[in-house]
Amino acid sequence: MKFLDLAKITVRSGDGGNGSKSFRREKFIEYGGPDGGDGGKGGDVIIVAADGLNTLIDYRYQQHFFAGNGEKGGSRQKHGASADDMILKVPVGTEILDEDKETIIADLSKLGQSIRICKGGNGGWGNIHFKGPVNQAPDYANPGLPGEEKIIWLRLKLIADAGLIGLPNAGKSTFLKAVTSANPKIASYPFTTLYPNLGVASLGADARFIIADIPGLIEGASEGVGLGTRFLGHVERCAILLHLIDGTEEDVAKSYKVVRKELEAYSDVLAQKPEIVALNKIDSLSDEEIKKKKKALEKASKQEVHTISGIAQKNVHQVLAQMFKEVKITRDANAVDQDVQEIDEGWQP
């Protein structure tokens, strides 16, 4: 299945059915009077976060989704049938944006969350509603209200606890394969990873978390060079970033600064996320080279630098433990916020 994380669609709710203008014409009933029924309600357009989806590919080949119209009312006070709602299923983590591609309408970050994006038109009243002492034979009825139409963007942001960032060929996919059961494509050339990959790392029964491998950034990515910053949105929800530096690079400090520059150009929020820096591929370096490059990287990043080897699985457990520590802090904070919200919603004077 092709990975697609951005789609533009047009949605329209149904029109309400017209009210009926009719009169009773029955034998032996001297004063029949009006008996027109109401029109049915038009269908709503509802977007729901569903399980089992991880791409927006369903919206690649169909971009128009219209709900049905309500039926017209009938005689003998028969109401028209209401139309069925149009239900659109999207992956968990999908943002719904307005046509300007900037205004966020909703963020469906939890399973089962839904939003009515377009409300169906109400059905019109039949002429029976207008009967009164002054007007006992109204010969008019209300038309149904029109539905709504919107052009919206669907943008998927993968739900991951930790994100892997770095230049192409820094060993991100190798690290993901070493610590999870994921099987990403791995090769010795840059831009092997063209789409984000997910994997579940486990440090125990109660210490599992999701890691996202993001395709590599290069200098000028914020201006569209290479793959650009297209996939950086997938790590905006992460609690921690693991910045991998290719230890075989001549200038590791420059490699670090290139990626940091692109992060800052993309988003202040992303640039301020907690970060773990790791010098990767130390299995290809001598002890003296490791010491020298670690010192240069610590000077550039102004923090402790881990030395690891994804392919040899050296020191990866320590890095995972530190990543999960930050993930757990975020999870606990979110759990407290949710408890407070539930208490607030349940309180009544």
d(CA 30, CA 201): 81
pLDDT of residue 209: 87
pLDDT of residue 31: 74
pLDDT of residue 226: 55
Q: Are strands 64-66 and 104-108 parallel, antiparallel or unpaired?
A: unpaired
Q: Are strands 45-50 and 114-118 parallel, antiparallel or unpaired?
A: antiparallel
Distances (CA, A) of 324 to 99, 165, 312: 38, 17, 21
What are the residue ranges in the chain where pLDDT is below 50? 340-344, 347-349
**Domains contained in the chain, CATH given:** 1-156 (2.70.210.12), 162-338 (3.40.50.300)
pLDDT of residue 62: 92
d(CA 233, CA 306): 26
Q: Which residues contact 301 (CB under 8 A, 6 or more apart)?
A: 243, 256, 275, 277
Neighbours of 53 (CB within 10 A): 17
Q: Please write the tens of the pLDDT for every residue from 98-153.
A: 999 889 999 998 889 999 999 999 999 998 888 888 888 888 899 999 999 999 99
pLDDT of residue 341: 46
Cut 0.85: pTM above it: no
pLDDT of residue 295: 92
